[in-house]
């Protein structure tokens, strides 16, 4: 059980320090390398009320931009299949949002379902595919150990309990299942974060923190790519335990100061790709 002010059963009050980012006091855990806001439940409610999460679902899914998102997610699924060399029977999008990943999975012939804490998504998308409107509905006996692939994109930085999220992944994954996390991390990141900027994130993620929580549930890293803060990581079942790496709050502060350099390098990389594929075509 997670104790008050701790992040996981592996962390305790002695690991916790308070960090002020000039906007507010934040909580940093030296054990799991996680930085988070206080009073996460209230903050979660504020995030859920944001306009970008409460647009008309039917209108959104008919836009050209949404169709491009579906195409992008088809490519992501194909990449996952190439890396894992597995053909999943059941796929879950954990934090499905407007559902572009689930539509992409269906177009590729997979049985796909979506879960989100925002009922604007799950209630309106239930006309198109299976959705779960609550954590209790998701964690029913029929779903436990049944998903060969769980996809989680831009969800954990808005989480109010990352330990519970990884516990859910563990309960839902099949014995040979894979977990894919795509999110923003602070390691060599072009993004400003809640260290120096007041924004909507509840958590600051690092590679070290993601591996820490995966390791608790015996999920090891199959694949990892960090594109200047855009993390793509695949975890798979493994009975081994690994030593956890840690990162200090001072290192995170220093990396934050270099974000403009990483942003510049990211733009150079993107431009180089456009030039390369322009000549290739």
pLDDT digits (tens, 9 = 90+) for 97-126: 999 999 999 999 999 999 999 999 999 999
| CATH for the stretch 56-240+247-280 | 3.40.50.150
- Cα-based angle 151, 158, 100 (whole degrees, multiple of 5): 40
Single out the residue of 44, 31, 55 nearest to residue 117, CA to CA: 44
Q: Which two tokens stand for residue 165?
A: 């999220």
Give the model confidence (pLDDT) of 181-238 as tens digits. 999 999 999 998 888 887 778 899 999 999 999 999 999 999 999 999 999 999 999 8
Query: How much is the pTM?
Result: 0.93
Domain positions in the chain: 56-240+247-280
**Helix count and strand count (H, E) for the chain:** 10, 11
- % of the chain surpassing 70 pLDDT: 97
Q: Return the pLDDT at 4.
A: 46
- DSSP code of residue 232: E
Nearest-angstrom CA–CA distance, 90 and 104: 14
Better-scored residue on pLDDT, 240 or 67: 67
pLDDT exceeds cutoff 80 at 248 = yes
> How far out from the chain centre does Cα 267 lie?
23
- In this model, does residue 5 exceed pLDDT 70? no
Kindly report, residue by residue over 150-184, the tens digit of the pLDDT: 999 999 999 989 999 999 999 999 999 999 999 99
């Amino acid at each position: 059980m997670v104790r008050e002010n701790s992040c996981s059963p592996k962390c305790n009050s002695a690991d916790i320090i308070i960090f002020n980012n000039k906007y507010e006091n934040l909580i940093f855990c030296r054990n799991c390398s996680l930085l988070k806001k206080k009073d996460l439940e209230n903050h979660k409610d504020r995030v859920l009320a944001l306009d970008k999460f409460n647009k008309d679902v039917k209108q959104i899914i008919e836009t050209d931009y949404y169709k491009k998102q579906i195409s992008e997610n088809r490519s992501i699924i194909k990449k996952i299949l190439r890396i894992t060399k597995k053909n999943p029977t059941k796929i879950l999008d954990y934090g499905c949002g407007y559902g572009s990943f689930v539509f992409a999975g269906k177009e590729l012939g997979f049985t796909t379902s979506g879960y989100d804490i925002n009922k604007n998504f799950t209630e309106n998308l239930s006309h198109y595919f299976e959705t779960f409107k609550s954590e209790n509905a998701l964690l029913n006996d029929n779903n436990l150990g049944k998903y060969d692939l769980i996809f989680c994109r831009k969800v954990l930085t808005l989480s109010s309990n990352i330990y519970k999220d990884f516990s859910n992944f563990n309960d839902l994954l099949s014995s040979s299942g894979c977990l894919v996390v795509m999110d923003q991390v602070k390691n060599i990141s072009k993004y400003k974060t809640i260290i120096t900027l007041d924004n909507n994130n509840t958590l600051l993620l690092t590679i070290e923190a993601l591996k820490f929580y995966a390791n608790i549930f015996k999920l090891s890293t199959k694949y990892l790519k960090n594109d200047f803060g855009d993390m793509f990581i695949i975890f798979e079942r493994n009975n081994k335990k690994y030593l956890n790496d840690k990162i200090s709050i001072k290192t995170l502060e220093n990396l934050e100061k270099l974000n403009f350099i990483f942003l510049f390098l990211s733009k150079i990389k993107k431009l180089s790709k456009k030039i390369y594929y322009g000549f290739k075509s």
